[in-house]
C-alpha cells in the first residue's frame, strides 16, 4: 500500500509586492504555484505548517497541494527563501509536476559511517553534496547514502560509480567523478621572524646611553688643545699675575 503524501493547503492572494510583509506578520507565507501547462498563481500557506513540512521532506519529495479547497495536485518544493536573521521562510516556489514526465533534479548525498583516515590520521573529508539524476517524479530518490568506512588512508577514494542508485532513474553525474576522499592535514611551516634592521642614528644613540662622550660632550669640561683647562674659568691675558708676559716687553739694561 503506497504511503500517503504530505498535504499542503494554499489560498490565492491578491496582495503583491512589498505589501506581503503584512501577510507574514499575520502568520501567512507568500508562495507561488506553477508548472508545465499550469497558470502561475500567487498564493499563501500557513507559515508554521510549511516550516514544519519543509524540515521533514527533501527536494525530491512529492507533496499534494490544493488551492482554495480544490483538487490536490502533486508538487515539489522547488525553492525556499530564508530570512537569514530569523532563520524562517519568507517565500516558497511550489512546482506542479506531471507524473508521466521525467524530471531532472539534484539529489542530496548523506554521509554515513566513519573514516580511519579522519579519526586516526587527522585528515579532512571532502565529498560531493548532491548528484544529478533524471526520472519520473514518484521514482526520484530522496537521498543517496555515501558510506565512508572504506576511506582508511589518504590514497583511498570513493567514486560515483561505487554508490547505489535506484535502477529506474538515470544518473547524470559523471560516474568517474570522486564522490569522497580524505585530504591529509596541512602542515604549516613557521617562518623565522626577519632580523631587525638598525636604523640610521641608532648606533649613535646607543653610544650616548653607554656613556661614551660625543664630540659635543668632549668639548664641555674636557681639556682643550690650548691648555689643560677649559676656557671657562681660566684667567685671561692681563688679568692677575698668571698672565704670560708679552715678548715685546723690554727690560732696562742700565
CATH of the domain at 129: 2.170.120.20
Together in a domain, 16 and 92: yes
Share of the chain above pLDDT 90, in %: 61
Together in a domain, 66 and 147: no
- Name the domain boundary from 55, 70, 98: 98
Together in a domain, 43 and 66: yes
List, for residues 158-189, the tens digit of each pLDDT value.
999 999 989 999 999 999 999 999 999 987 65
Is the pLDDT assigned to residue 246 strictly greater than 90? Answer: no
**Is residue 213 in some structural domain?**
no
Contacts 24+ apart (CB under 8 A), 16-24: 16/42, 24/90
Together in a domain, 28 and 54: yes
Together in a domain, 18 and 82: yes
pLDDT of residue 128: 97
- Closest Cα partner for 80 from 173, 171, 15, 8? 8
Strands of 47-156 (E only): list them.
63-67, 73-83, 88-96, 103-112, 124-127, 130-135, 143-147
d(CA 43, CA 28): 10
Together in a domain, 78 and 108: no
pLDDT of residue 229: 41
Together in a domain, 17 and 72: yes
Mean pLDDT value across residues 100-125: 95
d(CA 103, CA 140): 9
Structural domain range at position 123: 104-183
**Number of domains into which the chain is organized:** 2
Is the pLDDT assigned to residue 205 strictly greater than 70? Answer: no
**Is residue 14 in some structural domain?**
yes
**Is residue 41 in some structural domain?**
yes
- Name the domain boundary from 183, 203, 220: 183
d(CA 43, CA 96): 14
247 against 29, higher pLDDT: 29
List, for residues 32-46, the tens digit of each pLDDT value.
999 988 889 999 999
pLDDT of residue 195: 64
Report yes or no: 172 and 104 within 8 Å, Cβ to Cβ.
yes
**Is residue 212 in some structural domain?**
no
**Is residue 189 in some structural domain?**
no
**Is residue 253 in some structural domain?**
no
**Is residue 127 in some structural domain?**
yes
**Is residue 201 in some structural domain?**
no
Together in a domain, 108 and 134: yes
- Name the domain boundary from 82, 98, 114: 98
Name the least confident of 110-119, 120-129, 139-148, 226-235. Answer: 226-235
Amino acid at each position: 500500500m503506497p504511503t500517503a503524501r504530505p498535504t499542503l493547503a494554499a489560498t490565492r492572494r491578491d496582495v503583491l509586492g512589498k505589501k506581503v510583509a503584512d501577510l507574514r506578520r499575520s502568520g501567512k507565507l507568500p508562495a507561488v504555484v506553477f508548472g508545465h501547462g499550469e497558470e502561475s498563481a500567487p498564493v499563501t500557506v500557513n507559515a508554521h505548517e510549511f516550516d514544519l513540512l519543509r524540515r521533514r521532506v527533501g527536494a525530491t519529495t512529492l507533496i499534494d497541494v490544493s488551492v482554495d479547497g480544490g483538487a490536490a495536485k502533486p508538487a515539489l518544493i522547488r525553492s525556499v527563501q530564508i530570512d537569514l536573521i530569523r532563520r524562517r521562510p519568507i517565500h516558497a516556489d511550489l512546482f506542479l509536476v506531471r507524473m508521466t514526465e521525467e524530471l531532472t533534479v539534484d539529489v542530496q548525498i548523506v554521509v554515513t559511517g566513519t573514516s580511519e583516515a579522519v579519526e586516526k590520521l587527522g585528515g579532512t573529508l571532502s565529498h560531493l553534496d548532491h548528484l544529478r539524476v533524471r526520472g519520473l517524479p514518484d521514482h526520484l530518490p530522496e537521498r543517496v547514502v555515501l558510506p565512508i568506512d572504506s576511506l582508511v588512508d589518504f590514497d583511498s577514494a570513493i567514486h560515483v560509480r561505487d554508490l547505489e542508485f535506484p535502477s529506474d532513474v538515470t544518473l547524470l553525474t559523471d560516474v568517474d567523478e570522486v564522490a569522497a576522499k580524505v585530504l591529509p592535514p596541512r602542515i604549516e611551516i613557521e617562518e623565522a621572524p626577519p632580523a631587525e634592521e638598525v636604523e640610521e642614528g641608532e648606533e649613535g644613540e646607543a653610544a650616548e646611553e653607554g656613556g661614551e662622550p660625543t664630540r659635543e660632550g668632549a668639548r664641555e669640561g674636557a681639556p682643550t688643545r690650548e691648555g689643560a683647562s677649559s676656557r671657562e674659568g681660566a684667567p685671561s691675558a692681563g688679568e692677575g699675575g698668571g698672565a704670560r708676559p708679552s715678548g715685546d716687553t723690554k727690560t732696562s739694561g742700565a
